[in-house]
Chains A and B, each alone.
Chain A
């Protein structure tokens, strides 16, 4: 018993103090994976904010966009042209989703729309495998001029290894969030998006086109998915296993609150860092693999104190 308590409360901190460079390394890795979770969560938030749809298909959209990019390149399309074409594909997807799924299901209960995005997930999995095959592919990071290699930075007498691609991912994620924040708060479209999020009916009555807004958000989510796909793909490779990672974005989402863009980022970082710390310092105690559920438990603990997530809008219930 004392051994267990020691393992939980004392030993990890002793380790942290003993090897500060390792601590910084873990922190950095947690930060990077947090940013990448946050990117996926961002796609969810965009769609949830503007249409109230809990888009389960975001994960497969990540895979699908990355596969399209790599697949086009395999067929001899130059990398940047392939990138442009993939963006067009995501636009077509957004229009198709709006026409085929959202428009007929307007005003249905949330869970029905949630299920419909499930159908979309199945559809895209099948379609993706049918067109590009089920084998993992290697992301074309060289052709896209993504940096490779790593920096070794001396910290506390040791070294911290930083992959250049991770740094690039962090920068791109920050840029994306900044752009989205400006888009939401400063532009005409952003105002329309916020209006739709507040009330569909009121937005319609002041002349905002729901259809247009939905295409825009799904397209934006598609772009976010593409960026996520490139980043994740460059770190491992492009395969349908990435879809599982999308499930990791869910605790990030509830931690940050479904409707908050900064929430997605901060939630992502908390989950990413918490997960890496838990796995590294407390993992050996429980047997490995606790990464698979630790994120959910962290999120659950937060939820018990703040049921709407850290930055979610306060839930006010009336009779």
Chain B
């Protein structure tokens, strides 16, 4: 009864093609944004913000980036961690080269460096496909990881071989570095993620997104109807790496505060790929749901024994959480191979029909 678009007539193509054509969706999005921008900063503890909300947003942005490539264009990539690292290190170099420039501009600029690197490593994608391509992107991952360790110029010849984020201010407020408050950082991360997600949503429903999906569904057929494969695939690599790069930059500057090459290793790539697949390939909402689930699950599992009053050693708890996460991944894949986003769609359909079963 509540979620029903009956009676919402569209009288122009513009209205029909709007981003949120249904009134309830518009209200829903507005409520979520209001909660995220106003409700959370007023109520959430700094622990919640620092260890749950900011990580989920950052990882969701990276997952969105990978989803554009894997979910929308059908190119499997295992180089996400490397591209995130390029963003982070580029941002770090930019802050040392241009100390006076607004940090947000630098973060967005560092995305372009990642995009350039991503495009270069996307070059083999025309010749090779599927798992072969995935292994080829692993080359990017390992090569970039090696660069982050072996090229001292990238971390300013720091002895610890890691990035230390300098304190940057925006309108007199510290936004990065140890003195910044979690709420400020949260709001900036949220703004960047919300903005980039909006851009992504518009990209995928427009001409570019349609060419991507055509390539995903069948690249030969797409080529026959006049889509230039090479440009489309490289654009997907570029945009995807841009998102990953920005995610890497905000991960270091607005979440962790310092980072070394280990933060961008192969496990990071796999983690992001998990989020995309558990969340739902080819769905922006899925990237967020997947990030929340994969990040939240270990936290819940770690908190669970204490909650039930069971006392186990932390190492054992860690191992058990590995077993459970593994089992749950298999379980989710069996129950819903199309991801959490599909569950949401099914739920929406049910809401539309409610109270009737069909």
The residues of A with any CB-CB pair to B shorter than 8 Å are: 54, 100-101, 104-105, 108-112, 114-116, 118-127, 129-130, 134, 247, 250-251, 253-254, 258, 286-287, 289-290, 292-293, 296-297, 299-300, 303-304, 307-309, 315, 317, 319
Residues of B within 8 A of A247 (CB): 138, 266
**Contact (Cβ within 8 A) A307 B132:** yes
Within 8 A of A (CB), among B308-339: 315-316, 319-330, 333-334, 337
Binds A, one of B28-36, B61-69, B100-108, B139-147: B139-147
Residues of B within 8 A of A115 (CB): 273-274, 277, 329, 333
Bound together, the chains give a CA A104 to CA B336 distance in angstroms of 11
**Contact (Cβ within 8 A) A116 B135:** no
CB distance from A92 to the nearest CB of B (A): 17
With contacts A110-B130, A124-B326, A296-B142 taken as known, whether A105 is within 8 angstroms of B135 at the C-beta atoms is no
Within 8 A of A (CB), among B269-326: 270, 273-274, 277, 281, 315-316, 319-326
Instruction: Check B224 for interface membership: any CB of A closer than 8 A.
Output: yes
- Contacting B323 at CB < 8 Å: which of A130, A254, A292, A317? A130
Instruction: Check B21 for interface membership: any CB of A closer than 8 A.
Output: no
Instruction: Check B257 for interface membership: any CB of A closer than 8 A.
Output: no
With contacts A303-B132, A304-B124, A309-B132 taken as known, whether A123 is within 8 angstroms of B323 at the C-beta atoms is yes
CB distance from B300 to the nearest CB of A (A): 16
Residues of B within 8 A of A120 (CB): 326, 330
CB distance from A120 to the nearest CB of B (A): 7
Instruction: Check B207 for interface membership: any CB of A closer than 8 A.
Output: no
Within 8 A of A (CB), among B130-187: 130-132, 135-136, 138-139, 142-143, 145-146, 149-150
**Contact (Cβ within 8 A) A105 B337:** yes
Bound together, the chains give a CA A125 to CA B329 distance in angstroms of 14
- Contacting A300 at CB < 8 Å: which of B129, B136, B329? B136
Instruction: Check B52 for interface membership: any CB of A closer than 8 A.
Output: no
- Contacting B326 at CB < 8 Å: which of A122, A258, A292? A122
Residues of A within 8 A of B325 (CB): 119, 122, 126
**Contact (Cβ within 8 A) B128 A111:** no
**Contact (Cβ within 8 A) A254 B330:** no
With contacts A126-B321, A296-B139, A304-B127 taken as known, whether A319 is within 8 angstroms of B221 at the C-beta atoms is yes
Within 8 A of A (CB), among B189-225: 218, 220-221, 224
Instruction: Check B76 for interface membership: any CB of A closer than 8 A.
Output: yes
**Contact (Cβ within 8 A) A119 B143:** no
A100-B330, A126-B325, A299-B135 given; name 7 further pairs at CB < 8 Å: A108-B333, A120-B326, A123-B322, A126-B326, A254-B131, A293-B145, A304-B124
Nearest neighbor of A253 in chain B, beta-carbon distance: B135
CB distance from A319 to the nearest CB of B (A): 6
Bound together, the chains give a CA A12 to CA B330 distance in angstroms of 49
CB distance from A223 to the nearest CB of B (A): 23
Bound together, the chains give a CA A122 to CA B330 distance in angstroms of 10
Nearest neighbor of A119 in chain B, beta-carbon distance: B329
**Contact (Cβ within 8 A) B322 A129:** yes
The prevalent SS among residues of B at the interface is helix
Residues of A within 8 A of B316 (CB): 130
Bound together, the chains give a CA A219 to CA B277 distance in angstroms of 28
CB distance from B340 to the nearest CB of A (A): 14
- Contacting A254 at CB < 8 Å: which of B135, B149, B270? B135
- Contacting B76 at CB < 8 Å: which of A104, A111, A124? A111
Please list 18 pairs of residues, one from A and one from B, whose beta carbons are closer than 8 Å in the complex, sorted by A's number.
A105-B334, A108-B337, A110-B131, A111-B76, A115-B273, A119-B326, A125-B322, A126-B321, A126-B326, A127-B319, A129-B322, A250-B138, A289-B149, A296-B135, A300-B139, A304-B124, A304-B128, A307-B132
CB distance from B141 to the nearest CB of A (A): 8
Bound together, the chains give a CA A253 to CA B333 distance in angstroms of 26
CB distance from B81 to the nearest CB of A (A): 13
Bound together, the chains give a CA A146 to CA B324 distance in angstroms of 37
Residues of B within 8 A of A254 (CB): 131-132, 135-136
- Contacting B139 at CB < 8 Å: which of A121, A290, A293, A315? A293
Nearest neighbor of B145 in chain A, beta-carbon distance: A292
**Contact (Cβ within 8 A) A105 B333:** yes
Residues of A within 8 A of B128 (CB): 303-304, 307
Residues of A within 8 A of B132 (CB): 254, 258, 303, 307-309
Bound together, the chains give a CA A108 to CA B338 distance in angstroms of 10
**Contact (Cβ within 8 A) B329 A292:** no
- Contacting A112 at CB < 8 Å: which of B138, B150, B333? B333
With contacts A118-B274, A254-B132, A289-B150 taken as known, whether A123 is within 8 angstroms of B327 at the C-beta atoms is yes
Nearest neighbor of B121 in chain A, beta-carbon distance: A300
**Contact (Cβ within 8 A) A289 B146:** yes
CB distance from A162 to the nearest CB of B (A): 30
**Contact (Cβ within 8 A) A116 B127:** no
CB distance from A121 to the nearest CB of B (A): 7
CB distance from A315 to the nearest CB of B (A): 8
CB distance from A294 to the nearest CB of B (A): 9
Bound together, the chains give a CA A254 to CA B129 distance in angstroms of 11
Bound together, the chains give a CA A141 to CA B130 distance in angstroms of 40
**Contact (Cβ within 8 A) B124 A121:** no
Bound together, the chains give a CA A253 to CA B277 distance in angstroms of 24
Bound together, the chains give a CA A124 to CA B330 distance in angstroms of 12
Nearest neighbor of B223 in chain A, beta-carbon distance: A319
Nearest neighbor of A97 in chain B, beta-carbon distance: B330
Residues of B within 8 A of A54 (CB): 131
